[in-house]
């Protein structure tokens, strides 16, 4: 469906510089592909992320999100196309790329027999944080994720949410230009997820880091400045959350009236598109909220209930991919829980 | 590694970056080594278990066999088997440390190391030195039992033993890191222990003299690299003891190849080459990218 493929809309250009030649781009990807045998996990993907942007890859499992992140982090070799992270080519300068990125994986990668501080110290050495700065950086990143109190505690005593926040802190320790978060909130409860998002947005604000994340939670994609919807290895839409919703269509206003037939006739003659729902009238309107008063006036019959529905990202996803995103929490949280039990070595 | 200079501000000479590289690699080796030590100190049960097993062997085998073998001029089987038990302690700990890579893989920490902008060589060397240090410490603790079974210790002997333990530990740890790099699943760990570690230990001359074995067993012990690590240890321990000639003949040291007894230096060289070769293999096998 080529008409649906909008990679660069006017909104996107206003939201941030996205031109491929832009020197400030934190991530530049052109025609990137990755095939495993005959299977194309990622197919001809192009986009660019501006410095300081929060950029989300939204898509179901198996859509190619993790494969893309792996290529950007030099953990998988592209089979086609090019990618640059912070100006470094992922294929030709992998070490330079790794030094300028922070990584938080889906799976936990902490040593739970070390303390929070020891995990950070290990990371600081591996990522060449200058010796004189290590203490300050550790203090700072722990404060950013509110774990200063637990500094000397073994990671094995941490909850899943705390461990994840520590990993984010660790990812930020060497002041990376881009922080990659692969499904950062998977297996976390809603409260912890919200807390984690506060951390992430604070990082962006205070450290100016570019954040590239993948998620299959719609509500999380809302936090992003721009969203790329990826399905079957290709980007099917890329824009700001607002613009994407706008593209899906107008708001709908549901009216419960005493006389639907009369109200519908009057609204239609005033130029509104109207559909009869179950015991309601559904009116399509641009900016539904602002139109409510006028709709009631035009209907001219007593209205007992009004409900304005704005398109959600779920609608956006449905619109672009033709299906609902799979909500497979159980599939993911189960192995995490199982792991929690077997973590003690 | 010329590509790494791109990120350095203009004007930085390549040489400075190379030097910085070396410093960073050394710090990485130190950090990975330190982690092994921290983990060792923190897991008391592991220290205890790798302590109990050799003691069990020492006393059960030592006392059990002593009645059968008897003493020769005051020299009994316990004294004979002691250097073998020390080796056993070193080898088991070294192998266990190396194999912990499988745990690191299972629990994700391996990934944290592999994505870091450091060379695999630094990671493997750090891991090997860490495991070897831990194993040497563990083996040296066993020396405390020496007076109990009448093995005489001198300062020189302790230095010699620790040196040989370290060499043996480096060899076994690098071998173990290589094996662990090829193991993808936890189940593989048991297989390695059963199929590699125990046969290597039991067929190394740690627990019985190498002289007068049936031909097939003699061949196996000579193929086993551990044989060349255990014998020098026994040699230096025996050299420090007062041994009547009859005992020296009965509990002999030295590995014979085609009727020729290898000098101590040759045995040490065999172990050294083994260590270097497997360190190379381990670096090559460690965490290949997709």
The pLDDT tens digits of the residues spanning A301-330 come to 888 888 888 877 777 887 787 766 654 443
Task: Tell which residue, B208, B214, B249, B215, has the closest CA to residue B230.
Answer: B208
A226 reaches B (C-beta below 8 A) = no
- The residue of chain A nearest to residue B40, with distances taken between CA atoms, is A113
Does the pLDDT of residue A15 top 70, yes or no?
A: no
Residue B77 has what pLDDT? Answer: 83
**The pair of three-digit structure tokens given for residue A216, joined into one six-digit string:** 């299959």
A-B CB pairs within 8 A amount to 88
Which chain A residues are closer than 8 Å to B31 by Cβ?
121-122, 125-126
> Which of A92, A103, A108 has its CB closest to that of B115?
A103
Which chain A residues are closer than 8 Å to B124 by Cβ?
none
Q: How many CB atoms lie within 10 A of CB B45?
A: 8
More confident residue, A162 or B255: A162
Same fold, A2-245 and A250-310: no
Q: How confident is the model at residue B64 (pLDDT cuts 50, 70, 90)?
A: confident
Residue B178 has what pLDDT? Answer: 92
User: What residue ranges do the domains of chain B occupy?
Assistant: 17-285
Does the pLDDT of residue A331 top 90, yes or no?
A: no
The CA distance from B225 to B200, in Å, is 8
Does the pLDDT of residue A3 top 70, yes or no?
A: no
Q: How do beta strands A281-285 and A273-276 pair?
A: antiparallel
Does the pLDDT of residue A342 top 90, yes or no?
A: no
The CA distance from B134 to A93, in Å, is 36
Burial class (CB in 10 A: 0-12, 13-18, 19+), A318: middle
Percentage of residues of chain A with pLDDT beyond 70:
86
Residue B78 has what pLDDT? Answer: 85
Q: How confident is the model at residue B6 (pLDDT cuts 50, 70, 90)?
A: very low
> Which of B7, B38, B109 has its CB closest to that of A99?
B7
A24-28, A314-318, B87-91, B95-99, range with the lowest pLDDT: A314-318
Q: What is the pLDDT of residues A243-271, one digit of tens each?
A: 888 877 778 888 888 888 888 888 888 88
Query: What CATH class does A250-310 carry?
Result: alpha beta
A61-75, B32-46, B108-122, B239-253, range with the lowest pLDDT: B239-253
**The pair of three-digit structure tokens given for residue B29, joined into one six-digit string:** 């080796």
The CA distance from A149 to A192, in Å, is 18
User: What residue ranges do the domains of chain A occupy?
Assistant: 2-245, 250-310
A152 reaches B (C-beta below 8 A) = no
Give the architecture-level CATH label for domain A2-245. 3-Layer(aba) Sandwich (3.40)
Q: Which residue has the tokens 């619109």?
A: A319
Note the pTM of the prediction, 2 decimals. 0.79
Task: Tell which residue, A211, A98, A245, has the closest CA to residue B111.
Answer: A98
Q: How confident is the model at residue B12 (pLDDT cuts 50, 70, 90)?
A: very low
Does the pLDDT of residue B69 top 80, yes or no?
A: no
Does the pLDDT of residue A160 top 80, yes or no?
A: yes
Which chain A residues are closer than 8 Å to B24 by Cβ?
128
The CA distance from A135 to A148, in Å, is 12
The CA distance from A19 to B94, in Å, is 55
> Which of A77, A108, A122 has its CB closest to that of B290?
A77
Which chain A residues are closer than 8 Å to B6 by Cβ?
88, 93, 96
Does the pLDDT of residue A9 top 60, yes or no?
A: no
Which chain A residues are closer than 8 Å to B289 by Cβ?
74-77
More confident residue, A29 or B11: A29
Among A126, A152, A174, which would you mutate to test the B interface (most chain B Cβ atoms within 10 Å of its Cβ)? Answer: A126
Does the pLDDT of residue B26 top 90, yes or no?
A: yes
């Amino acid at each position: 469906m080529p008409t649906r493929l909008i990679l660069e809309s006017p909104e996107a250009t206003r939201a941030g510089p996205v031109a491929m030649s832009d020197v400030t781009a934190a991530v530049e990807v052109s025609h990137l592909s990755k095939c495993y045998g005959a299977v194309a996990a990622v197919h001809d993907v192009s986009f660019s992320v501006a410095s300081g942007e929060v950029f989300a890859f939204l898509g179901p499992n198996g859509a190619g999100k993790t494969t893309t992140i792996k290529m950007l982090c030099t953990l998988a070799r592209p089979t086609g196309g090019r990618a640059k992270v912070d100006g470094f080519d992922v294929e030709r300068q992998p070490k330079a790329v790794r030094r300028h990125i922070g990584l938080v994986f889906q799976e936990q990668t902490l040593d739970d027999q070390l303390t929070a501080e020891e995990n950070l110290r290990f990371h600081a050495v591996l990522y060449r944080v200058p010796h004189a700065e290590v203490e300050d950086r550790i203090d700072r990143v722990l404060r950013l994720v509110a774990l200063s109190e637990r500094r000397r505690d073994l990671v094995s005593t941490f909850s899943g949410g705390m461990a994840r926040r520590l990993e984010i802190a660790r990812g930020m320790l060497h002041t990376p230009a881009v922080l990659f978060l692969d499904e950062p909130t998977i297996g976390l409860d809603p409260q912890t997820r919200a807390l984690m998002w506060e951390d992430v947005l604070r990082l962006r604000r205070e450290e100016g880091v570019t954040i590239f994340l993948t998620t299959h939670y719609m509500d999380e994609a809302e936090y992003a400045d721009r969203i790329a919807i990826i399905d079957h290895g290709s980007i099917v839409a890329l824009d700001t959350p607002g613009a994407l919703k706008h593209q899906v269509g107008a708001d709908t206003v549901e009216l419960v009236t005493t006389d639907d037939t009369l109200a519908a006739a009057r609204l239609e003659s005033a130029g509104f598109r109207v559909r009869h729902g179950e015991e309601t009238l559904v009116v399509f309107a641009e900016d539904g909220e602002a139109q409510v008063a006028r709709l009631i006036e035009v209907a001219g019959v007593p209205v007992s209930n009004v409900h304005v529905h704005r398109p959600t990202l779920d609608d956006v996803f449905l619109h672009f991919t033709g299906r609902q995103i799979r909500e497979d929490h159980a599939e993911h949280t189960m192995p995490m829980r199982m792991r929690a039990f077997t973590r003690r070595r | 590694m010329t590509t790494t200079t791109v990120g350095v501000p203009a004007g930085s000479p390549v040489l400075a970056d190379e030097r910085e590289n070396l410093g960073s690699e050394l710090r990485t080796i130190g950090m990975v080594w330190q982690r092994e030590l921290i983990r060792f100190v923190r897991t008391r049960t592991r220290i205890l278990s790798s302590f109990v097993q050799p003691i069990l062997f020492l006393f059960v085998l030592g006392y059990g066999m002593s009645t059968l073998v008897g003493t020769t001029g005051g020299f009994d089987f316990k004294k004979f088997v002691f250097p073998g038990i020390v080796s056993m302690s070193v080898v088991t700990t070294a192998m266990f440390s190396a194999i912990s890579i499988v745990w690191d893989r299972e629990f994700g920490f391996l990934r944290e190391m592999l994505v870091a902008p450091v060379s695999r060589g630094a990671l493997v060397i750090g891991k090997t030195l860490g495991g070897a240090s831990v194993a040497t410490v563990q083996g040296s603790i066993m020396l405390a039992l020496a007076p109990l079974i009448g093995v005489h210790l001198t300062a020189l002997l302790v230095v010699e033993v620790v040196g040989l333990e370290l060499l043996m530990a480096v060899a076994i740890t690098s071998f173990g890191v290589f094996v662990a790099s090829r193991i993808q699943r936890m189940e593989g760990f048991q297989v390695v222990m059963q199929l590699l570690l125990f046969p290597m230990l039991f067929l190394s001359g740690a627990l019985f003299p190498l002289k007068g074995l049936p031909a097939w067993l003699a061949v196996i012990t000579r193929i086993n690299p551990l044989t060349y690590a255990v014998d020098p240890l026994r040699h230096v321990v025996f050299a420090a003891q007062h041994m009547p000639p009859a005992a020296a003949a009965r509990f002999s040291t030295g590995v014979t190849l085609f009727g020729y007894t290898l000098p101590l230096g040759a045995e040490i060289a065999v172990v050294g080459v083994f260590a270097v070769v497997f360190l190379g293999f381990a670096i090559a096998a460690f965490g290949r990218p997709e």
